[in-house]
Structure 1
Amino acid sequence: MESESANGTVAIPAGGLIEPAMAMALNVHSSPGVYALLLGAGISIASGVKTGWGVVADIVGKVAAVRDPDNPDARTEAMADPEKWWEANTSEQLGYSALLAAAAPLPASRQAMLAEYFEPEKCQDDTKGPTAAHRAIAQLVKRGSIKVILTTNFDRLTERALQEVGISPQVVSRPEQIKGMKPLAHGQVTVIKLHGDYADLEQRNTVDELETYPDELQKLLERVLDEYGLIVCGWSADWDKALVRAVEGTRSRRYPLFWSQYGRFSDAARTLIARHGAVVIDGRSADELFTGLVSRVEALDRLTTAPITRDVAVVQLKRALPDPLRRIELFDLVDQAVTQIIDRSTPENRPVLATSTSWADIFGSSVRGYRADSDTLLHLLANGVFHDDGRHEPIWRRAVERLVRLRDTTPGTYNEYLEKLRHLPALLAVWTIGVAAVLSRREELLATTLYHPQWAVPHSGHPRMGPAWTLNPLRVLDTDGVHEMHPADGGNKYLYPQSNWLKNTLREPFQLVEPSDTAYQEASARFEFLASMIAMDAGDDFRAVPWAGEFFLDSSWGYDNTGLAATIEAELTDTWPLLSAGAFGGELSRAQKALTVLTEWKAKYGRRW
C-alpha cells in the first residue's frame, strides 16, 4: 500500500492487508497505555488558537504598528518576515521571552496580552476551545488507551478537554518540574509540553530556541520515545530540530510508529518515516483521525466485552446518576441499551409481513420479542427517571427519539398491524417514563415526554405530532392481535386489552422503585388519564383519541365526585405542574376543555372498546 504526497510516494509498511488507520486502532486497542501521542500545531488549527510562532509574529506586527503609526502597512510588512524586521529595528535576538519582556514586562500585563490569543472571547465560550480531536483524545485517555501526550503546542486545549471529562492531567511544561513528577506509568495521563506553556517566559519558538532542549527534558523525551509506541499528528518536523534529532536517534522501536499528515510531508518528516518504517495515515485531519480512532476502538470493545446484565446495568446507572463527572457513562449506558433494540428491530427478527393464517402467531411473537429486546432499557428508565432530579432529562428524551425513528422508513411490502409494531419499543419507553414521573411526583416531565419528539407517517402529508398521539397504544397495538395474544381468564376478553397488557408487562421494571402493586396500578391509571387529556387537546383532528384504558373503569375514574377524575379536576389551577411546564400551551382553559372532552368521550364510547 502507498500514499501519495506533494513530494512523491511514501511507503506504508502495512502489508496491504488493512488500511493504516485500522492497523493503528488494532494496535492501540490491544496495547492500552503503550502508545504516546506527539501532537503538533496542526491539531489546534480548527480551534482558532494561533501557533507559538503565530503569536510571536502577531506581536511583532503590533510592535511595528505602534513604532511607525503613520505607516498603515507597518504591521503587514513586519509580519511578512518577523525575524528580519526585529533584527533591523532592535538590538535583541527575537524570541518569546525577549519579545514579551519588551512588550509586556510585568506578569499582569503579559497575561492580559496573551489572553486574547488563548482564552475564549468575552460572551463567546465556544471560541478558542478544544476541537473534536482534543475531545476524542480525552476519551482515549479516559478509557486507558493513552497515558502520555507529547506536544509542541503551548495552548491549554488538551488540558481543557481532559478536564471536561473529569481528568486532572499531570502537566510538565518546565524542566524543573520533571524531578518531582509522578512516574509516567503511575499517572492517569501526563502532558509533556516540549515548548512550554503560553504563560511561561521560558518558551521555545525561534529556530535557535528549538535547536536544543534542557538536559532534563531531553532525557524524559528520549525515555518516552524508547519505551512507548508513537502516534504523530499535526507535526511537520520542519522547525523543531531538537525533537527531530530525538526521534531520529531513537534506537530500534519496541512498538510501531504511526504518522498522520494532512497535506505535504516535509523532507525531515519523510526521512523519519523511512528511518523508522512508520505507518503513514495520509489525508486525514486531526479531527477525523482521532474521532475515527475512538470509534474503532469502541467497536473492538463491543467484540471483546460481554454485554453487561440488566441488573448490573441498573447498579451502574444508580452509581452514575448523582455524579456529574459520570454523565457520559450514564449517557452511554442508556444509549447502548437503545442501540441493542434498534439492532434487533429488523424484518429478519421482527417480520412486517404475514399470511392470513399466520398473522396472529407472528403478531404475538413480535410483541414478546420487542418487549424482551427492551427489557434492559425499561429497567434503566424506570430507575433512572424515578431517581433523577431533572438534570438528565435529555438522556431519557433521546432514548425515545431514537426509538421513534424506527418507523422513519417504510418497508416495501408489509401488513399494517405488524409495521406499526415497530413503534412498540418507543411506546414501552414513554409509558415507563410517564409512570416513573408520576411515582416520583415530577409530572411536569410529561409536558415534554408526551409532546416530543414529533413524528408523522413518512410521505403521508399528515402534520407531525408528539407521542401522546403517535404512540397511542390503540394505534400501535392492534386490538384483535392483543386479544389473541393476551386473553383474559376463562377465554374472555379484556375491555381494554392494550392497557391491561402494558400494566402487566411493565410491572417488573418498577419492582425496585415501587414494591406496592396498588401504588403502581394507581400511577399507571393516572398516567393514562393525563396522556389521554393531552391527546384530546388536538381539537377536531382525527387523532384526538384517548389512551382508552382501565382508568375509564368506575373503580378508577370514580363517581359522585370521587375518584381519579375528580382529583384531577380539583388540581386544575394556574399552578398545575403540567401547565407550568408548557402542556396545553400553558393555558388553564385548554386543560379544562380537554378534561371535559375526555369525560364526554368516556360517556359515549367508554365501554364499547
Structure 2
Amino acid sequence: MTLLHNDPTTQLAFSVYENKGVFAVLLGSGLSRSAEIPTGWEITLDLVRRVATAQGIENQSDWATWYREKTGQEPNYSALLEEIANSPDERRAILHRYIEPDEQDREEGRKVPTKAHHAIAQLVRSGHVRVIVTTNFDRLMENALREQGIEPTVVSSADVLAGAEPLTHSRCYLLKLHGDYKDARILNTDQELSAYPESYDKLLDRIFDEHGLIICGWSGEWDHALRAAFLRAPNRRYPVYWAARGALGSGASELAIHRSAKAIPISGADEFFQTLQQRVETLDQSQRQNPLSIELLVNSTKRYLAKPEHRIQLDELLSQEAERLMTQFDGGQFAPHGQWDQEEFRSRVRRYEALAEPLTRMAGVLGRWGDGSELTTVLDIVRGLYLQAEKIGNGLSAWLGLRSYPAVLIFTAYGVGLTRSQRWQTLHELLVAPWPREYRDPKRVVSTLFLNEWKGARSEIWKELEGLDRRKTPLSDHLLEVMTNWRSSFAGVSAEFELVFERFELLAALAYLEENSEASLEQAFADTPHGLFARMPVGRVGWHDSSANALILELQSEATITALLDAGFARNSRRFLELSIESFKRYMNKMSW
C-alpha cells in the first residue's frame, strides 16, 4: 500500500501546488445547481410551463414533449424569450428572477456563490489556478473572484473573445462556453451545443493542450462540442482529475479513458474544493516560515527601530535572521548541479522567496522608517548573502545565478521602502555603494543586484515563471508581484504602490548611468541623434506609459530636481539629470514597440 493510497485529493493538492498555474478548472451545472440556480434547460422548460399555464393548459409530466408536439420544434431559450418579451430590458427582467438573489435568497444562502466557488477563487488568488472553463451562464464564479479582489477576464461570446485580453496575460481567465444570462444568445439546445465557433474551438484546444484539468459538476454526457474538444486533445504530461459523486457515467468514462483521467469520488463540490484549497494552502505554508513568527520579526524590527537605545537588539535580530538564511543555502534543496527543468526553476524561486521573506520584510521596514544609520547593516547583510552564494562556482548556470536571489529581494525591498519614505540621500548611497571587487572590475550595488545587471537575470529564464512567458520585463514584473504581496509590512496598502515600485526602478536606472562622466554622456548624446546612446537597466517602467510619463513630469519639476541633486543623484548636475531623462525616454521609445 502506498502513502497516498485511496487519497486522490491529497495527490491532486501536491500536483496543483508543485505546478502553480498549470491546472485549469472545468465547471458544469452541478456547481450552480447546488446554489439553487436552475440550468438553462430548466429555465427553458419553466418558461414553456408558464406560457402554457397562462393559456389554460393543464400541467404536463413532460413539458419538452408537449412543446415538440405542439410546435414541431425543440424548446429554444432564445426563441421563447423573444416571443414572451419584446425588448432586451423585458427579457433581462424575466431572467432576473431565476438568477439574481432577492433579500430572502441571500438570508437563506441561495443564488449566491457556494463554498466551492469561494475555494476556487482562493486558489486563483494564490496563483495556483488561472483558467476557469464553465458551462454555467450565471455570475457566481465572477462574484466569488471579485470578493477576493480579482477582476477576471470574462469571455462569454465569440465577439468578446475577439477583443479580450490574451490568455497568457490574464491573472484569471474565465471562459463561459454557454454565454452569460444577460445575453439572450446563451446556448441550450442539442443543436446549439453541437458545435462552437471556430475561435472557441481553437481556444479550447489550447487550454486542453497546455493545462491539466480539474473537472467538477459536468456529467460529460451532453454538450457535444465540448466533448469533441475533449476528444481532440492529446494525452499530455499534465494530468486530468474528474471529481464526481459516485461512478462516472458512460459518456464521462469515455472521455476519462481518452485522457487517462483519474476519477475522484466526492460527496459534493463544496467539500471537495474546500479540502483541495486547504491542502494546497497547507503545502504552501509548510515551505514558509510560520506567518506568525514573520509578523513577530517585522513588529520587533519596528519596535527596536523606534528607539535608539534598542539599536543593539535590532542589529542582533537582523544578524540572527541573516545567519539563519545563509545556513539554508548549501542544503540539498539548492544543489547547483543537474539539468535545466522549468518546474524545478519555479520551485526554487518559491523556496528562495519563502526563506527570504522574513528578512526581506524587515529590510523594507528599515527602508521605510530608518534614519540612515541602518544602511551599513543592510549592505553588510546583502553583501554577506551574495558572497555566501558565490562560494560555489561549479554547476548549472541557472541554479548558480539563483543562489543570490535573496540578496536581490532584500536590496529591492529596502530600496522600495526608502522610495516610499522619500529618503533620497540614503537611497542614492545604497545604489552607488561599492561592491567587493570581482575580477578587478570596480562595481557598485546597482550594477550587481539591479534587474538585468544581476547575474541571475542574464538570460530569459524569468519568462519561465507562470504567466510571464510573453512579458518584456519578466524579472521586474515578478519582483513587483512579490513586493506587492509583502508590502503591508513596509508600504501600507496604498493604491499607488505600483508607482512607488516603478519610481524606485527609474531612480536606480538613473543612478546606474552615473558610471559615466557628464562629458562622455554629452558626447554620446551628440553622436546619437536617434536611438539609445547610453546603456542602462530599465524595468517595467520603460513600457508602462502611464507611470513613465507621470514620473518624467515629476523628475522635471523644480522641487524634485532640487531634492535629487541635493541627495547626490546625477552627479549633482542638472545637465546630467537632463541627459539621464533623455536616455530613459529613448528606452521608452524602444520598449513600446
The structure with the largest helix share of the pair is: 2
Question: TM-score normalised to the size of structure 1?
Answer: 0.47
**Greater radius of gyration (CA):** 1
Question: TM-score normalised to the size of structure 2?
Answer: 0.48
